[in-house]
């Protein structure tokens, strides 16, 4: 008799089934699903050689990355920015195989273990490369590093870093390291410009996170 | 029992085996398993089933792909009809996957309204504060914001304890909802004495008086608080400072402190009066009033370098416009004391010049008229612009305008060289401007390639293009092509159409290759039409005026056209349109119209006066030609819109003056039978007037008229009229009174055609106006008299030179009496006066009674008026010289052009009058004063005595025939040109 009472409960829990996908974020009429978020975590972890972590906080971060990418993608498509050639991405992957996996078979096995398709990873890298290249082109104009900024960086951050790494070596003069510092500052400013653009764009877009997808 | 228990447990085991998968599996575990069934929950889905299955794109029997599920979610969401989508998977007993799409639908706002607030704020302000868009998706978050926005606006208008109740009414059949904000605003706050800080340099009492916030200087307390009143008060304070030369005064509203308990709003103002600033000119005089217009520091209440420069530029232009073309203006700003600043414009006027000659040469492609039309400089005129219009800046602008004209027609290398010659032809202070146009070679289009256009549209698109092969090449033409193409797409349901244009020089000289790459984007169609907001109006009335139909492409111009037609009905205060779920991916869209009906009652009244030669008592026979008289005039009207909900208007008008009492009822059906070109008018008239000196008439009339617009310039009216006219106080030979004063019934049908091709109906300078009215009265229409009547008019207007207009007007009228009795007096032609012949007082032309001398009217008329119109001073004051000729004749066969009046019994001759007039231009037409001299004005025998004397035959001391004459001098004052 007790067994009979258990049946409806079991049925009730089973009828609902498993949620296999749902809307996680909407960005002005476009959708990022929960499966896209989890796959983003896998792809990013695979690229960095980390174990994927599906905590709510990490899912939220991955979703934010996808939102930024979606907005950038829109901007790139609007300005007809070209995609990098797949051959170039192939070279990048070959380098990864040699450095981390040694053999293509090991690379393929690692992908399978992470439930990632090889073309999917290539596409991920291609999109990433396109976004880097685009932000460089889009925001480099107007970004300028002034002599004062170079001197200030050399005097503070470079000096501190140098002294921690080379305690007994005298600090090289600014002129000797100016290219390196300029590069660092330029990258920093580019990141800043991109961040600001994203903030502005996100503010004007209708972005809605569905919290239930990030539990 | 035991076996039953075992069986039961076994079953549980099987079930557990089946469902345990669902309890522990990850989404990837379902991948590749065959799909048994696809379900949608809830059962009602906002997308039709077939469309839904297409969007899901997953078929039963196929292996499950998570990528396909993701794409299904994206496709479904892109329709805009879903707020939430979740996909559940479960295995059935066969190990196949049962997919369930759990959805939450979107709702769209199809009516948003606000009720219950006494203005201000008005409904529009409140709806705007709600920031809810018609046709957009509804969300709870938006509603919270909307209530907050409304509350803020109410608060800004002194309502601090409002109750706002949003009512949401859902209409599941359309996935729509209506939102109504019911507002109980509570009591409005009053102003409290403001707190003023800073250094205002004016007493609080004066500032408060300027603000207008206290009632009767505070004796009756304070006014109710509104945002408009607050701002107006602050503006008045600022103006008070401006008036006293405190140009830098700052009146800043820092906050308004509200006391909810006491219902008081206390503005806190920080006022810094600053120093007094005096602006003056040296070297030449400019009135203080003009200086305030020219120097923007007064308007901007700020003194900075840019504004002073702008002032300098405007003062320079001021002098240049007066003929001081070399005028130079500099300025200086001095601190006279901490309390006073001085801004001094030093004017070096230079010599006074006159632009006497402007020459344009080198133009081959365009004629001189086309070029002159684009020029701002102007040689001196005789009456206006006596120094001409010239400055270096103006000349430069003309150069640019001419070059642009040429460039837009393919002359890419055009150049205009200008030269100014002073002391032209040796005459001191006269200048001439020369513009030499170097046209250069014209560029043409060698090849035009249009891509991306649907083949079915290609031919039409081609026909709209201007930059086709062999045509002149210019950026202007290319831009026109782009506009034409995109407008065509927008009007045919392609809201996202875009176009890319590339141009490159051809291999051959002076030729360009063009490429138009069109991206059509999605095409949208009308699914159906939703109309909301109709309380009185019938829905069919609105639907019939919407030119969008289900299945037709969504066309921007059709939407605008529909909106215009609805506004043209005159019964809607507001017509909002929107596409529901505009950004959603569905091809078929519901179009929403939200109407706000206008107030149905309107009342108008007027007080005026008439002045003219229509005087004389009703019984006296002493002034048959009319005496100068004045009468006040009152009018009152009331109308009710949207009768029976069909957009018709009913109106009643009453007019009262000494000489006319009139009551008029009208019923107007605009856009009759749904046609824009037709309207129907029914009128009922009661009129008691003495506008013709000879008699008083009482008229009761009913008429039905259909108006039709045949073309932009041509219109027609078709009428059926039935009236009963009775005359009294008839001042004619007693023997004729029975003949003319019988009450008569007149039934007639008439048609009028008007062709108006004038450039400005109020004050035409070119064009032609023609009209013809043909009427037939017959016993068949229950008419006592039977006659036909034709009245035709033709006017033409010609510009002569730059400033003169020669205009003429001819009028011909004919009444053909084909039955009995005689044409009654009120049906005859009475003419003469300000608009027909200025040599006569009003209605005094034509045959007269041989005993009393009063006008009898005629059965024919012919008038010709000629006017030369010219400017007198500035742009608003003008003059005319005129010649009016013609008369009202006894019969059509009596029309002649004879100058002399044979004797005092002869009225069938042509009266001539010459004169001059003054016109002052106003927005409602020119005010007109005319003085005419009629050299051959008619002489006639009048009767000295009263009507009783005449009827009783008493010709003693009181009743005597007297030789009289229509005064040679006539004066007319009225509004509008004579014709």
pLDDT tens sequence across A147-158: 999 999 999 999
Are B352 and B387 a contacting pair, CB within 8 Å? Answer: yes
Q: What confidence category does residue B913 fall into, taking pLDDT thresholds of 50, 70 and 90?
A: very high
**DSSP helix/strand/coil, B58:** coil
- Give B23's contacts in chain A (Cβ within 8 Å): 13-14
- Give A11's contacts in chain B (Cβ within 8 Å): 15, 19
**What fold is seen in the domain B525-598?**
Ubiquitin-like (UB roll) (3.10.20)
Q: Pick from B12, B26, B66: which is nearest to A7 by CB?
A: B12
* Cα distance between residue B389 and residue B395, in whole Å: 10
pLDDT score at A110: 94
Share of chain B above pLDDT 90, in %: 69
- The mean per-residue pLDDT over the stretch B831-836 comes to 92
* Cα distance between residue B72 and residue B67, in whole Å: 9
Q: Residue A89's domain spans which residues? A: 23-214
| C-alpha torsion B524→B530→B531→B533, nearest 10 | -120
Strand boundaries in chain A, DSSP class E: 18-27, 30-33, 207-209
B98 in contact with chain A, both atoms CB, cutoff 8 A:
yes
Instruction: Give the closest-approach CA distance of A93 to chain B in angstroms.
Output: 24
Residue A6 within a domain:
no
Query: Of B679, B475, B427, B453, which is closest to residue B570 (Cα–Cα)?
Result: B679
Per mean pLDDT, which range of A83-97, B609-623, B755-769, B822-836 is the poorest?
A: B609-623
Q: Given an 8 Å threshold on Cβ–Cβ distance, is A23 in contact with B73?
A: yes
**What single DSSP character describes residue B946?**
B
Q: Helices A34-48 and A118-140, interaxial angle, to 10°?
A: 80
pLDDT over threshold 60, residue B944: yes
How many CA within 13 A on the CB side of residue B95? 6
Domain with residues B276-348, CATH architecture: Roll (3.10)
Q: Given an 8 Å threshold on Cβ–Cβ distance, is B86 in contact with A21?
A: yes
* Cα distance between residue B536 and residue B515, in whole Å: 54
Q: Given an 8 Å threshold on Cβ–Cβ distance, is A31 in contact with B74?
A: yes
Are B99 and B64 a contacting pair, CB within 8 Å? Answer: yes
pLDDT score at B923: 85
**What single DSSP character describes residue A212?**
G
pLDDT over threshold 90, residue B739: no
Supply the mean pLDDT for chain A: 88
- Give A10's contacts in chain B (Cβ within 8 Å): 12, 15-16, 19
Residue A16 within a domain:
no
Domain with residues B25-105, CATH architecture: Roll (3.10)
Which residues 49-88 of B are in CB contact (within 8 Å) with A? 66, 69-70, 73-74, 77-78, 80, 84-88
Specify the CATH number for the domain of residue A56: 1.10.4030.10
* φ and ψ at residue B608, rounded to 5 degrees: -150, -170
* φ and ψ at residue B825, rounded to 5 degrees: -55, -50
Give the distance, in angstroms, between the CA of residue B499 and the centroid of all CA atoms in the same chain. 33
Question: What does each C-alpha distance from B795 to A107, B120, B733, B791, B829 come to in angstroms?
Answer: 95, 51, 38, 14, 20
pLDDT over threshold 90, residue B382: no
B591-613 tens-digit pLDDT: 999 999 999 999 999 998 777 66
The domain over range B108-184 is classified in CATH as 3.10.20.310: yes
pLDDT over threshold 80, residue A37: yes
Instruction: Give the closest-approach CA distance of A2 to chain B in angstroms.
Output: 10
pLDDT score at A9: 41
Residues 6+ apart with CB under 8 A from B520: B452, B453, B454, B489, B494, B497
Domains B25-105 and B190-272 share a fold: yes
Question: What does each C-alpha distance from A179 to A46, A112, A150 come to in angstroms?
Answer: 33, 42, 10
Q: Given an 8 Å threshold on Cβ–Cβ distance, is A15 in contact with B85?
A: no
Q: Edge-to-edge strands of the sheet including B588-597?
A: B525-532, B588-597, B572-579
Whether omega for the bond prior to residue B821 falls within 30 degrees of 0, making it cis, is: yes
Q: What confidence category does residue B630 fall into, taking pLDDT thresholds of 50, 70 and 90?
A: confident
* Cα distance between residue B681 and residue B704, in whole Å: 6
Supply the mean pLDDT for chain B: 90
Q: What confidence category does residue B14 fall into, taking pLDDT thresholds of 50, 70 and 90?
A: very low
Are B903 and B940 a contacting pair, CB within 8 Å? Answer: no
Question: What does each C-alpha distance from B906 to B622, B850, B894 come to in angstroms?
Answer: 21, 10, 11
Are A34 and A24 a contacting pair, CB within 8 Å? Answer: yes
Tokens for A202, please give them.
Answer: 């996100």
Q: Given an 8 Å threshold on Cβ–Cβ distance, is B73 in contact with A31?
A: yes
pLDDT over threshold 70, residue B959: no
Q: Pick from A3, A30, A35: which is nearest to B8 by CB?
A: A3
B902 in contact with chain A, both atoms CB, cutoff 8 A:
no
Q: Given an 8 Å threshold on Cβ–Cβ distance, is B70 in contact with A15?
A: no
Which value does ipTM take for this structure? 0.85
Q: Given an 8 Å threshold on Cβ–Cβ distance, is A11 in contact with B19?
A: yes
pLDDT over threshold 50, residue A202: yes
- The mean per-residue pLDDT over the stretch B20-49 comes to 83
B886-896 tens-digit pLDDT: 999 999 999 99
Nearest residue of B to residue A17 by CA position? B90
Q: Which residue has the tokens 């170079």?
A: A150
pLDDT score at B200: 94
**DSSP helix/strand/coil, B613:** strand
* Cα distance between residue B28 and residue B31, in whole Å: 5
A19 in contact with chain B, both atoms CB, cutoff 8 A:
yes
A142 in contact with chain B, both atoms CB, cutoff 8 A:
no
Instruction: Give the closest-approach CA distance of B72 to chain A in angstroms.
Output: 10
- The mean per-residue pLDDT over the stretch A161-165 comes to 90
- Give A4's contacts in chain B (Cβ within 8 Å): 8
B265-314 tens-digit pLDDT: 999 999 999 999 999 999 999 998 899 899 998 888 788 889 999 999 99
pLDDT over threshold 90, residue B738: no
B682-732 tens-digit pLDDT: 999 999 988 777 888 899 999 999 999 999 999 999 999 999 998 887 877
What are the residue ranges spanned by the domains of chain B? 25-105, 108-184, 190-272, 276-348, 525-598, 601-617+626-668, 752-975
Tokens for A58, please give them.
Answer: 């990490």
B100 in contact with chain A, both atoms CB, cutoff 8 A:
yes
Residue A65 within a domain:
yes
Tokens for B456, please give them.
Answer: 């079915």
Q: Given an 8 Å threshold on Cβ–Cβ distance, is A21 in contact with B69?
A: yes
Number of domains chain A is built from: 1
pLDDT score at B617: 63
- The mean per-residue pLDDT over the stretch B176-198 comes to 95
**DSSP helix/strand/coil, A123:** helix
- The mean per-residue pLDDT over the stretch B2-16 comes to 45
A6 in contact with chain B, both atoms CB, cutoff 8 A:
yes
Per mean pLDDT, which range of B18-27, B140-149, B376-385, B407-416 is the poorest?
A: B18-27
For residue B175, with 0-12 CB atoms within 10 Å meaning exposed, 13-18 middle and 19 or more buried, which class applies?
buried
Pairing of strands B97-105, B35-41: parallel
For the segment(s) B752-975, the CATH number from 3.40.190.10, 1.10.760.10, 3.30.365.10, 2.40.160.50 is 2.40.160.50
* Cα distance between residue B232 and residue B142, in whole Å: 32
Q: Which residue has the tokens 């840019």?
A: B306
Residue A112 within a domain:
yes
* CATH class label, B190-272: alpha beta
Q: Pick from B15, B69, B90: which is nearest to A10 by CB?
A: B15
- Give B581's contacts in chain A (Cβ within 8 Å): none
Q: Given an 8 Å threshold on Cβ–Cβ distance, is B22 in contact with A17?
A: yes
- Give B25's contacts in chain A (Cβ within 8 Å): 18
pLDDT over threshold 60, residue A10: no
Q: Pick from A16, A29, A33: which is nearest to B80 by CB?
A: A29
């Amino acid at each position: 008799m007790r067994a009979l009472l258990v049946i409806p409960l079991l049925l009730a829990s089973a009828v609902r089934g498993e949620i296999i996908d749902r809307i996680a974020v909407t960005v002005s009429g476009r959708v990022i699903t929960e499966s896209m978020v989890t796959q983003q975590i896998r792809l990013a972890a695979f690229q960095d050689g980390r174990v994927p972590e599906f905590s709510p906080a990490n899912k939220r971060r991955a979703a934010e990355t996808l939102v930024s990418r979606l907005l950038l993608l829109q901007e790139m498509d609007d300005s007809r920015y070209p995609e990098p050639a797949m051959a170039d991405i192939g070279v990048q992957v070959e380098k990864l195989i040699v450095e981390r996996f040694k053999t293509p078979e090991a690379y393929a096995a690692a992908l399978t273990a992470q439930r990632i398709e090889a073309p999917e990873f290539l596409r991920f890298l291609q999109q990433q490369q396109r976004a880097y290249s685009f932000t460089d082109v889009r925001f480099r104009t107007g970004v300028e590093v002034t002599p004062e900024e170079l001197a200030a960086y050399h005097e503070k951050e470079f000096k501190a870093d140098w002294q921690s790494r080379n305690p007994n070596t005298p600090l090289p003069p600014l002129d000797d390291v100016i290219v390196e510092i300029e590069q660092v500052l330029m990258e920093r400013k580019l990141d800043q410009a991109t961040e600001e653009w994203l903030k502005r764009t996100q503010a004007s877009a209708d972005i809605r996170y569905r919290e239930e997808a990030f539990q | 029992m035991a076996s039953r228990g075992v069986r039961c447990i076994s079953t549980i085991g099987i079930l557990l085996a089946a469902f345990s998968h669902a309890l522990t599996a990850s989404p990837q575990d379902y991948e590749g398993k065959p799909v048994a069934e696809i379900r949608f929950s809830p059962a009602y889905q906002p997308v039709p089933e077939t469309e839904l299955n297409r969007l899901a794109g997953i078929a039963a029997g196929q292996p499950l792909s998570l990528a396909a599920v993701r794409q299904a979610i994206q496709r479904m969401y892109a329709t805009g009809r879903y707020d939430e989508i979740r996909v559940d998977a479960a295995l059935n007993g066969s190990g196949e996957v049962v997919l369930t799409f759990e959805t939450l639908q979107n709702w769209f706002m199809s009516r948003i309204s606000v009720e219950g607030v006494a203005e201000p704020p008005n409904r529009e302000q409140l709806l705007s504060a709600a920031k809810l868009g018609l046709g957009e998706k509804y969300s709870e978050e938006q509603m919270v914001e909307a209530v907050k926005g409304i509350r803020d606006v109410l608060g800004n208008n002194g309502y601090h304890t409002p109750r706002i109740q949003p009512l949401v009414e859902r209409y599941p059949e359309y996935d729509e909802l209506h939102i109504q904000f019911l507002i109980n605003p509570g009591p409005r706050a009053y102003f409290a004495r403001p707190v003023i800080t800073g250094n205002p340099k004016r007493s609080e009492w004066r500032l408060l008086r300027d603000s207008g916030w206290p009632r009767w200087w505070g004796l009756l307390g304070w006014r109710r608080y509104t945002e408009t009143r607050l701002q107006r008060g602050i503006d008045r304070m600022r103006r008070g400072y401006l008036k006293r030369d405190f140009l830098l005064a700052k009146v800043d509203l820092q906050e308004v402190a509200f006391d909810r308990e006491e219902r008081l709003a206390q503005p806190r103002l920080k006022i810094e009066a600053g120093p007094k600033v005096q602006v003056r000119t040296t070297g030449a005089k400019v009135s203080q009033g003009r200086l305030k217009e020219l120097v923007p520091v007064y308007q901007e209440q700020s003194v900075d370098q840019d504004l002073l420069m702008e002032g300098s530029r405007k003062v320079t232009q001021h002098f240049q416009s007066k003929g001081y073309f070399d005028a130079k203006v500099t300025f200086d700003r001095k601190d006279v004391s901490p309390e006073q600043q001085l801004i001094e414009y030093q004017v070096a006027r230079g010599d006074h010049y006159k632009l006497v000659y402007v020459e344009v040469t080198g133009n081959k492609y365009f004629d001189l008229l086309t070029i002159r039309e684009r020029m701002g400089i102007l040689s001196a005129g005789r009456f206006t612009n006596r120094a001409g219009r010239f400055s270096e800046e103006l000349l430069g602008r003309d150069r640019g305008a001419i070059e642009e004209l040429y460039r837009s027609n393919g002359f890419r290398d055009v150049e205009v060289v200008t030269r100014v010659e002073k002391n032209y032809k040796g005459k001191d202070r006269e200048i001439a401007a020369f513009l030499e146009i170097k046209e250069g070679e014209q560029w043409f289009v060698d090849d035009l390639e249009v891509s991306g256009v649907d083949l079915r549209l290609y031919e039409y698109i081609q026909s709209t293009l201007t930059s086709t092969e062999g045509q002149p090449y210019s950026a202007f033409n290319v831009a026109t092509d782009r506009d034409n193409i995109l407008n065509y797409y927008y009007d045919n349901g392609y809201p996202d159409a875009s176009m890319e244009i590339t141009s490159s020089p051809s291999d051959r000289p002076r030729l360009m290759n063009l490429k138009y790459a069109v991206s059509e984007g999605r095409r949208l169609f009308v699914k159906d039409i939703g109309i909301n907001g109709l309380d009185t109006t019938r829905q069919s009335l609105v639907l019939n005026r919407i030119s969008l139909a289900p299945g037709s492409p969504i066309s921007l111009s059709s939407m605008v056209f529909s909106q215009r037609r609805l506004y043209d009905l005159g019964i809607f205060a507001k017509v909002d349109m929107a596409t529901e779920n505009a950004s959603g991916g569905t091809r078929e869209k519901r179009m929403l119209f939200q109407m706000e009906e206008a107030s149905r009652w309107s009342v108008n009244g007027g007080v005026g006066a008439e002045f003219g030669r229509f005087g004389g008592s009703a019984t006296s026979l002493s002034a048959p030609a009319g005496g100068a008289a004045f009468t006040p005039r009152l009018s009152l009207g009331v109308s009710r819109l949207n009768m029976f909900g069909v957009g018709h208007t009913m109106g009643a008008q009453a007019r009262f003056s000494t000489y006319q009492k009139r009551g008029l009822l009208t019923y107007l059906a605009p856009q009759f039978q749904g046609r824009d070109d037709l309207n129907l008018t029914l009128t009922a008239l009661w009129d008691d007037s003495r506008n013709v000196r000879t008699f008083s008439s009482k008229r009761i009339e009913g008429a039905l008229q259909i108006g039709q617009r045949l073309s932009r310039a041509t219109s027609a009216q078709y009428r059926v009229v039935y009236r009963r006219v009775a005359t009294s106080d008839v001042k004619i030979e007693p023997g004729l009174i029975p003949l003319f004063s019988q009450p008569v019934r007149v039934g007639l049908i008439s048609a009028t055609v008007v062709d108006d091709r004038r450039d400005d109906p109020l004050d035409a300078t070119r064009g032609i106006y023609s009209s013809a009215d043909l009427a037939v009265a017959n016993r068949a229409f229950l008419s006592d008299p039977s006659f036909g009547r034709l009245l035709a008019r033709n006017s033409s207007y010609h510009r002569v030179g730059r400033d003169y207009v020669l205009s003429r007007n001819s009028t011909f009228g004919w009444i053909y009496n084909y039955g009995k009795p005689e044409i009654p007096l009120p049906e005859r032609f009475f003419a003469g006066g300000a608009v027909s012949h200025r040599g006569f007082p009003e209605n005094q032309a034509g045959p007269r009674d041989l005993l009393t001398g009063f006008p009898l009217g005629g059965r024919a008329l012919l008038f010709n008026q000629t006017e030369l119109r010219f400017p007198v001073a500035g742009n608003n004051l003008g003059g005319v010289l005129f010649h009016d000729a013609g008369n009202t004749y006894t019969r059509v066969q009596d029309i002649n052009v004879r100058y002399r009046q044979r004797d005092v019994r002869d009225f069938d001759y042509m009266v001539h009058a010459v004169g001059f007039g003054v016109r002052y231009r106003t927005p409602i037409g020119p005010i007109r004063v005319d003085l005419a001299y009629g050299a051959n004005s008619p002489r006639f025998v009048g009767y000295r005595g009263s009507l009783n004397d005449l009827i009783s035959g008493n010709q003693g001391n009181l009743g005597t025939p007297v030789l009289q004459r229509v005064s040679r001098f006539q004066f007319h004052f009225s509004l509008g040109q004579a014709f």
